[in-house]
């Protein structure tokens, strides 16, 4: 399982989902969903993030690509986006 922690927010929930190892020892993926709310706290839809992660040969760095879909209350996609990231382990 996968749990995304976020700071205090009245407009969205933390994300819940799954992650798994893909082909080889250094490729992973995850998918998560979070709930979206308006300023009054009413449910207005959800968001879905899907990412692919590749560790480098040391396991201390990774790169990732992700997609993000924003859905209305009926599950219809109303907007989409994409992202990339580069990360380094710190000690």
The per-residue pLDDT of the chain, averaged, comes to 95
- Per-residue pLDDT averaged across 71-83, rounded? 98
- Residues 90, 34, 54, 84, CA torsion sign: negative
Contact predicate 63/84, CB 8 Å: yes
Cα separation, 80 vs 73, whole angstroms: 16
Sequence-separated (6 or more) residues with CB below 8 Å from residue 55: 25, 26, 27, 28, 61, 62
Residue 6 above 90 pLDDT?
no
37-72 tens-digit pLDDT: 999 999 999 999 999 999 999 999 999 999 999 999
Integer-rounded Cα Rg, in Å, for the chain is 15
């Amino acid at each position: 399982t996968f749990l995304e922690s976020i700071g205090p927010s009245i407009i969205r929930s933390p994300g819940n989902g799954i992650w798994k190892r893909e082909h080889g020892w250094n490729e992973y993926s995850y998918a998560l969903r979070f709930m979206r709310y308006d300023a009054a706290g009413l449910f207005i839809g959800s968001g879905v993030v899907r990412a692919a992660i590749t560790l480098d040969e040391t396991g201390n760095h990774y790169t990732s690509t992700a997609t993000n879909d924003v859905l209305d209350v009926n599950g219809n996609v109303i907007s989409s986006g994409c992202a990339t990231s580069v990360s380094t382990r710190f000690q």
